[in-house]
Chain A
């Protein structure tokens, strides 16, 4: 078990990490999710013991490890860059942490082959890293982290430098690989989808603070505030600043959206409503959905999905639709917002109401 208690890191006049407290249990996957410079790497360095916190405590199984240098901790790290020993074979690369420990030949061989099997490297053991594809190079680095038998494995955006198909494949395998080791995994990423695919727990980071920490899907479905919801949405959360008057949310440009039945009890006043891009519909979903006129700014097509960027009043929204939906720039279209899908945030940005559809979950 790894505990962070009010961990703070101040460098000069800048606070890099502020008051982070969380508990990571054995065998768990913990995603640190946030944009670049949100503090993911700083937090990782503190957890690894590469940096010393200015304030607060880090405990492993109840004992403080602050001040224990990284070499003396049982930690493995995998980075965005593929870091391997270029002149050693894949086999020797994977074996290197065990050789350092002085393990006997039979144990080394057994562990290396086990890790190679898990990471599908068995056919490449005799090659050197530079003969491998980027994906295989990163698999080698992962295998090395795993044979180390570390109780804590830190991964700093390990898939960021891979092509999308390789990323997709390795990402699908990671939970299986993690489950096979039983260590505590801490995984930093900028991509919400990656956090969702890995499952486990997620901590959303913004400006050096952990805004929420909990089961990944819970954080996604019930973000405590606007910042968390925005951090955990790709493409970004569609938002609109509104004024609640009775049963209507009114926007400065004359747009109105009915207040969901469950939220009628909220006091009148200023709110921000938000909804996810896949809940901005291009085809009327039926029910109480409101139709709004929109102008297409650009359409991005990933293959199985299309991102239609639209201007609605003074807001820039994204509609995420299934399949290929091709619009031209400046096309006038109608988009639909379903009040039952709305997140409502109060003037301070705290969550006032989550979509009804998710409340049961």
Chain B
């Protein structure tokens, strides 16, 4: 296992990129710790597969270097990088038994048969396929095949990292969380560096210690699930993580006050007047509905009762606003909305603006 350094990496599929929009992957500069569980999360076309291909060695980035454990591997081919990868669709060797599938990477590297046997049995134990070792791999279910793909990586105990490319796509829903929890357990017990690419926020947040959120070729935030929820650094993160997503409202900001739809909203800290398109972001969970004179005036257009909470859909002038009201909390008949200062963030051109110190 190894630390992975992404040293000012960027990639464009066309030659001689000049403007930012030429890049399918905009500059990333980050270090991923040895033994960490990372998820690359974003919608299709966000650049997460490009980044994965740079790491796996299928692509040489147009800019920057990639280092495994301090060694520059930017120009090394996949087979020399000593990584393992689990693909969207299970890749198994149809004609072989489960045992031979797991032994394949070791036999190719001329490992003595005694050590192959020990490693295969240990791996089969880890992925729970010990009783299937003598079976033909082609007869197995999709989740078992996916475990074999994973096992072929685990069997080489010296791999630098294990990459997952949407590995649960073809798995039945009820098997998904079982596989996910097993992955998490494996990570905890054996401390592999794991990189998991997905467009499913639950998969990413459940699997990873650190989630790398990508949008439009850019890494917009790297953070723990808690950080992504509480302090989204980009409006896309606020929208994509959480259901319903963050309210993003056009605003004017000056000092400790923002004006939204012509109404004043107090801010927790003072801001210098930000440049660009300024927006105020507040999650529906941080919108409190009150009776009285506090807050901004709203018109409730609908209430959806989900049992454990209600989603209140409202208009603030022309702007749509969602609020989440917990079970047992009453909704006033003609409420006003208060944005809890702790949950309010300011964005300029979609990126978070830090308040003045």
Chain A residues at the B interface, C-beta cutoff of 8 Å: 163-165, 168, 172, 175-176, 193, 196-197, 199, 217, 220-221, 276, 278, 297-304, 309, 320, 322-324, 326, 328-329, 357
Closest A residue to B185 by beta carbon equals A329
Closest 7 CB pairs of A and B: A298-B181, A301-B205, A304-B242, A278-B308, A303-B241, A303-B242, A324-B226
Question: Is there contact, CB below 8 Å, between A164 and B188?
Answer: no
Q: Let me know if A304 and B307 touch, CB within 8 A.
A: no
Please name 18 pairs of A and B residues whose Cβ atoms are closer than 8 Å in the assembled complex, sorted by A: A163-B43, A163-B199, A164-B201, A165-B245, A172-B304, A176-B302, A197-B304, A197-B306, A299-B206, A300-B180, A300-B202, A301-B225, A304-B283, A304-B285, A309-B177, A324-B226, A324-B230, A329-B188
B200–A164 contact, CB under 8 A?
A: yes
With A163-B199, A165-B239, A298-B180 in contact, is A303–B308 under 8 Å at CB?
no
Q: Which residue of chain B has its CB nearest to the CB of A168?
A: B243
- Closest CB of chain B to A194's CB: distance in Å? 10
Known: A324-B229, A326-B226. A298 touches B177 (CB 8 A): yes
- In the complex, which residues of chain A have a beta carbon less than 8 angstroms from the beta carbon of B201? 164, 302-303
Q: A298-B180, A324-B226 are in contact. List 17 more A-B contacts (CB 8 A).
A: A164-B243, A172-B304, A175-B302, A176-B302, A193-B306, A199-B305, A220-B307, A278-B327, A298-B184, A301-B205, A302-B205, A304-B242, A323-B226, A324-B229, A328-B188, A329-B185, A357-B328
Tell me if B242 and A196 are in contact (CB < 8 A): no
* A303 touching B228, Cβ below 8 Å: yes
Find out whether the CB atom of B225 lies under 8 angstroms from the CB atom of A196.
no
With a cutoff of 8 Å between Cβ atoms, the chain A residues found around residue B180 in the complex are: 298, 300
CB < 8 Å: which of A165, A168, A323 contacts B229?
Answer: A323
Tell me which residues across on chain A come within 8 A of B202, comparing CB atoms. 300-303
Q: With the chains together, A175 CA to B228 CA distance in Å?
A: 31
A310 vs chain B, min Cβ distance (A): 12
| B199 vs chain A, min Cβ distance (A) | 7
Q: Give residues 232-279 of B contacting A (CB, 8 Å).
A: 239-245
Within 8 A of A (CB), among B283-313: 283, 285, 302, 304-308, 311, 313
In the complex, chain B residues whose CB is within 8 Å of the CB of A328: 188
- B229 near A172 with CB under 8 A, answer no
How many Å lie between the Cα of A163 and that of B239 in the bound state? 14
Q: Is the CB of A217 within 8 A of B305?
A: yes
Chain A residues positioned under 8 Å from B245 (CB to CB): 165, 168
Most chain B CB within a 10 A radius of its CB, from A165, A176, A197: A165
Q: Determine the distance from Cα of A164 to Cα of B43 in the docked complex, in whole angstroms.
A: 11
> Are B206 and A300 in contact (CB-based, < 8 A)?
yes
Question: Please, which residues of chain B bring their CB within 8 A of the CB of A172?
Answer: 244, 304, 313
Residues of A within 8 A of B206 (CB): 298-301
Contact B285 A196 (CB under 8 A): no
Within the complex, the shortest CB–CB distance from A71 to chain B, in Å, comes to 36
Do A304 and B243 touch across chains, with their CB atoms under 8 A apart? yes
CA distance A97 to B200 in the complex (A): 36
A136 nearest CB across to chain B (Å): 15
Chain A residues whose C-beta falls within 8 Å of the C-beta of B285 in the assembled complex: 304, 322-323
B153-181 CB mask vs A (1 if < 8 Å, else 0) is 00000000000000000000000010011
The complex places the Cα of A175 from the Cα of B242 at a distance, in Å, of 22
Query: Considering only CB atoms, which chain A residue lies closest to B43 in the complex?
Result: A163
Chain B residue numbers with a CB within 8 Å of A309 are 177, 181
C-alpha spacing A298/B311, complex, angstroms = 28
| Residues of B close to A164: CB separation below 8 A | 200-201, 243
Q: How far is the CB of B16 from chain A (nearest CB, A)?
A: 30
B149 to chain A, nearest CB (A): 21
CA distance A301 to B200 in the complex (A): 11
